[in-house]
Amino acid sequence: MAWKEWSQLSEERRYLVDQALAYMDAKYDEKAKLIGDSEEHGKHGTRGSGHYALGLLLRSEPGDIERACEVLHKIIDLQFDAPDEIYHGTFKSALESIDPPAGNYPWKSLGQGHAYFLAQTVEKITERLVSGIEGEQAKKEWADRLVTAVDEVLPPVWKSYDPNWREFISCIFAVILEHFADKLPQQLLERMEQSMIKAVTGSIERRLSDVVPMNSNIELMHAFITHYYGTRLQRSDWLEHADREAEKLHARYAEFGSLSEFNTTTYYGVDLTVLGLWRQYGKTAAFKQLGHAMEKGLWANIADFYNPYIENLSGPFARAYEMEMTAHSSLGVMLYLALGKGYEHFTAINCETEHDIMIALVGVDVPEELLLQLAEHQRDRLVEQPFRELCERDQPGANTNLCTARAWIEKELMMGAMSGSKNTNGQLHPATIHWKTADGHKYDLRLIRREVGKHWNTHLRGVYYEAAVNERELEVEVQCSAAVDIEFYFEITGQGVDARGIAANRWTLPGLTLEVEAEAPAPVVQAFGNRLEIIYLVQAKKSSATPAAPATMKFLLSRV
């Protein structure tokens, strides 16, 4: 064990380290020199393997340091070294990932934020191509062929490379270099520093070009790595850039006391981890002070929307994968460190568990005055918080809309509503309900959408929501002018939910009955075990003569 670091860890932090290492030990592949990916079965992930190397160095039992060195060498082997390409300096997300196309995209000469216009152009070309083709299936096949052809020439972000792996892996390397540089061979140290030159260079080029916009969790990492490696590698230009970025990020936060990825359990976990890096490894007082202000404010946002009886954040969510706080997030781990023994269930294994080593090292800094609010329900309340979202696939300069998140929170129930958002991301959850029954069972409801036959977690243009909430009602208006057929559906999850309880004007659920007023097509109800979908289909207008008015649906859900 690395006794200096280990001795500084509380019992709760050691619990996290032991649990995460046991989880990752079981996933390690000796041949690949990487651990199995948490989300893609059959692949070996680089980010998770970086966290594993950090944990091995902290544990430092026989063979651990040697294994960590092999893992780190393998990760560096999987970094893209292509200075003219948009993916320069990032890492393959997995050993099995194929190389993106090269040599066809002079992206540095095309102007700031040009990717939005490039994507729009491809969409228009696709529409023109299929407009003369008979039959919906044939139209879809030709559209798919065109997109595939474009992706084989121009490297598609998120499909062929993940630019965020620069920031994630650079943060891991920073913690390793800060704590364990003396345990690593000189050759590996030199390789790590050369790797970080590529990663930080690519990160800065991305930031300045705004070709792939950065959400707030990536912005926080970007500012940290340019600051940290600017100091370590004596790059004054990086340090100046880091100071500018940190000040701009803080100024945007200070406008309303909120980040753009507002009220999102997954990204709050990342935000708090990275602000911990600012706090622990920041090299100037000014940098640390900016981070402290945001970390303190973020905990205040969390406390406002958190229900300690239901043990969850209330919606609405600017971005979310799950409705359960511990399902795709490190936020439960953060609350465990804040509240201590008795909250071990918040640390249940999930796809973010690999991050727990870093979280254990940086800890949490929760304002003392918020601890009681996080531990016990204090009062029923209506909460309202404005924030500026980032619509990452909208026109630069017009992609930061003013939104308002509202929630009614009482001990056994909470409802959330979003207004003002223009986000195309399916992770937006504009209308939500969580409740807990007298026998302790938890339930949730969310409104999401999907193109017919596809998953909800995609980008779709032409879908907008306006929602409002009070202590009795949740009201939502949906506008849809999408070019494809869309299913909007209320997904209800929990033990014993029954499709037989869903009638036209009343939804009878365990522990909650809702009167429903709907100006919408008749729904279809589907049951999948302990999950229901109440589906409203909006069909795309087929006429192309003039732009059609958006289809509008309205829902009023009232507690009985």
Residue identified by tokens 């869309």 is: 486
* pLDDT at res. 115: 85
* pLDDT at res. 396: 82
For the cut 60, the answer to whether the pLDDT of residue 544 exceeds it is: no
For the cut 90, the answer to whether the pLDDT of residue 398 exceeds it is: no
DSSP collapsed to 3 states, 211-245 = CCCCCHHHHHHHHHHHHHHHHHCCCHHHHHHHHHH
Burial class (CB in 10 A: 0-12, 13-18, 19+), 206: buried
Contact 418, 386 (CB under 8 A): no
Mean pLDDT of 458-477: 96
Burial class (CB in 10 A: 0-12, 13-18, 19+), 280: middle
Half-sphere exposure of 421 (CA within 13 A, CB side): 37
User: pLDDT grade, residue 255 (50/70/90)?
Assistant: very high
Residue 52 CA to residue 42 CA, distance in Å, equals 18
Contacting residues for 244 by C-beta, under 8 A, at least 6 apart:
none
Mean pLDDT of 376-395: 94
Residue 217 CA to residue 201 CA, distance in Å, equals 19
- Helix axis angle, 11-25 to 46-59, nearest 10°: 120
Residue 524 CA to residue 47 CA, distance in Å, equals 41
For the cut 60, the answer to whether the pLDDT of residue 381 exceeds it is: yes
Q: What is the mean pLDDT of the chain?
A: 95
The letter for the amino acid at 140 is: K
For the cut 70, the answer to whether the pLDDT of residue 378 exceeds it is: yes
* pLDDT at res. 2: 64
For the cut 60, the answer to whether the pLDDT of residue 543 exceeds it is: no
Mean pLDDT of 366-382: 97
Q: Are strands 306-307 and 312-313 parallel, antiparallel or unpaired?
A: antiparallel
* pLDDT at res. 116: 83
Mean pLDDT of 112-131: 86
The letter for the amino acid at 60 is: S
CA distances from residue 337 to 160, 391, 441 in whole angstroms, order as listed: 37, 33, 25
For the cut 70, the answer to whether the pLDDT of residue 23 exceeds it is: yes
CA angle 536-262-206, nearest 5°? Answer: 105
Mean pLDDT of 322-328: 94
* pLDDT at res. 120: 85
Residue 111 CA to residue 122 CA, distance in Å, equals 17
* pLDDT at res. 498: 97
Contacting residues for 398 by C-beta, under 8 A, at least 6 apart:
none
* pLDDT at res. 123: 85
* pLDDT at res. 215: 95
* pLDDT at res. 393: 83
Write the DSSP assignment of 424-456 as a string of letters. -BTT-B-EEEEEE-TTS-EEEEEEEEEETTS-S
Tokens linked to 533: 């979908």
For the cut 80, the answer to whether the pLDDT of residue 3 exceeds it is: no
Mean pLDDT of 487-514: 97
Q: Where are the beta strands (DSSP E) in 26-110?
A: 28-29, 34-36, 44-45
Q: Would you tell me how many other CB atoms lie within 10 Å of the CB of residue 504?
A: 9
Residue 31 CA to residue 300 CA, distance in Å, equals 46
For the cut 90, the answer to whether the pLDDT of residue 548 exceeds it is: no
The mean-pLDDT minimum among 54-63, 104-113, 202-211 falls in 104-113
- Give buried/exposed letters for 419-444 (b at 16+ CB in 10 A, else e): bbbbbbbbbbbbbbbbbbbeeeebbb
Residue 64 CA to residue 285 CA, distance in Å, equals 35
**Domain spans of the chain?**
107-152, 430-559
In residues, how long is the chain? 560
Residue 401 CA to residue 399 CA, distance in Å, equals 6
What is the tens place of the pLDDT at every residue in 406-432? 999 999 999 999 999 999 999 999 999
